[in-house]
Amino acid sequence: MDVATVVGLAVAFGLIVWSILLGGSLSGFIDMPSVAVVIGGTLGALMISFPLPTILSIAGFFKKTFLFALDQPEDIIGKMVKYAERARREGMLALEEDSENEADPFLRKGLRLAVDGTDPQLLEKIMETDVSQLEARHSNGAKVLSSGGTYAPAFGMIGTLIGLVNMLANLSDPTQIGAGMATALITTFYGAVLANAFFLPMAGKLETRSKEEMMIKEMIIEGIMAIQSGDSPRIVEEKLKSFLPPAARQKLDAAKEKAA
């Protein structure tokens, strides 16, 4: 589980609730017609903007931000070096058993293609196509969430306008103006909170997760290509370390020296 996402949402909504309680009660901020306008309107706009399968897969997008477990680059480097050592010592066919036992589906597919003697250019094209399609799906997910962040405040404003029109249509009782204005503004509040404490941050996290996953997959492709071409384990390691920032490379080297 991504602790930062959970803590961030808890802090954002917790502080909003705390600030409300400082000045009054939560009951004054609960208005079901306003909830219906903002949530229903946002969902309706998303259904107009995107195909239904994309909308239905939104649960998967949330899973990517909450429960997504990604291999660390250091672990991938360790795996690829181990496979390179075995391939160098026993030949590519020796990796057939590893290709069956590998837990990562993408790495498993790459090992199988390499063991089968697939042409390097074709192997790279197949795996790059997989990466491109995955990136496109992630991009669609981020677009859905970003669009939700755009539509929610807009429907909040629509709800406020509806409340103001209803209030102005019943000015015969001036004592009700304050209550009517407060109810009208709640809809704008819902839209702003939904956009800035949920949709937009979740879209940003999904984009970050996507970039991290793309880098891991590019590392795997580079490693498979290097092993297939017969590069030494040291060369494979150096090629994959080039994906890491300098600080991460130094940390990896230090851990390797300590282990030795």
Q: What's residue 53's pLDDT?
A: 86
Asked if residue 117 has pLDDT above 70, the reply is yes
Q: What's residue 52's pLDDT?
A: 86
Q: What is the pLDDT of residues 3-61, one digit of tens each?
A: 888 889 899 999 999 998 887 788 878 888 889 999 999 999 999 999 888 888 777 77
Q: What is the pLDDT of residues 150-208, one digit of tens each?
A: 999 999 999 898 888 877 777 776 666 766 677 778 999 999 999 999 999 999 988 88
Mean pLDDT of all residues in 61-71: 71
Q: What's residue 26's pLDDT?
A: 84
pTM given for the model: 0.83
Q: What's residue 2's pLDDT?
A: 72
Q: In whole angstroms, what is the distance from residue 42 CA to residue 152 CA?
A: 5
Per-chain mean pLDDT for the chain: 87
More confident residue, 70 or 11: 11
More confident residue, 213 or 255: 213
Q: In whole angstroms, what is the distance from residue 225 CA to residue 238 CA?
A: 14
Asked if residue 225 has pLDDT above 90, the reply is yes
Mean pLDDT of all residues in 89-111: 88
Alpha helix (H) residue ranges in 91-199: 96-101, 105-115, 120-168, 177-194
Q: What's residue 180's pLDDT?
A: 67
CA distances (Å), origin 181, targets 24, 34, 201: 16, 13, 30
Q: In whole angstroms, what is the distance from residue 73 CA to residue 219 CA?
A: 8
